Amino acid sequence: ADMFANEEGGPEPDWVITEREQFSDFRDLNKDGKMDKDEIQHWILPQDYDHALAEARHLVYESDVDKDQKLTKEEVLDNWNMFVGSQATNYGEDLTRSHDEL
């Protein structure tokens, strides 16, 4: 209700229809119309998805200006705010340690 208040007789927006389909096809695994503890855990921490790898790829993609799949010190410094806000760098803490690869 915070995002969409269904008014009587009014059509649902496409995004609501898409979310309903996502829920029924992928979230409600036992098809009981609601999410239980196991379904929520699977949604938040899927077994087939590596969050750290996805975040690392995102950082490289967004910061690698010359698209050589390697980050230079300048590329990291030019995008420091992205790295400081990233879980992959432990919210910037890892950037203060000495790294040979940097």
Are 59 and 81 in a shared domain? yes
Name which of 67, 60, 52, 53 is nearest 82 in CA terms: 60
Are 62 and 40 in a shared domain? no
37: containing domain: 14-44
- Report d(CA 68, CA 12) in Å as an integer: 45
pTM of the prediction? Answer: 0.44
Name which of 85, 89, 83, 100 is nearest 75 in CA terms: 83
Q: Which residues of the chain have pLDDT under 50?
A: none
- Report d(CA 102, CA 91) in Å as an integer: 17
Which pLDDT score is estimated for 94?
65
* 83 within a domain of the structure (yes/no): yes
Are 90 and 55 in a shared domain? yes
- Report d(CA 76, CA 102) in Å as an integer: 9
Are 57 and 80 in a shared domain? yes
* 7 within a domain of the structure (yes/no): no
Number of folded domains that form the chain = 2
- Report d(CA 21, CA 29) in Å as an integer: 12
Asked whether 4 and 16 are in contact (CB, 8 A), the reply is yes
- Report d(CA 90, CA 42) in Å as an integer: 23
- Report d(CA 51, CA 49) in Å as an integer: 6
Which pLDDT score is estimated for 49?
80
* 59 within a domain of the structure (yes/no): yes
Are 89 and 62 in a shared domain? yes
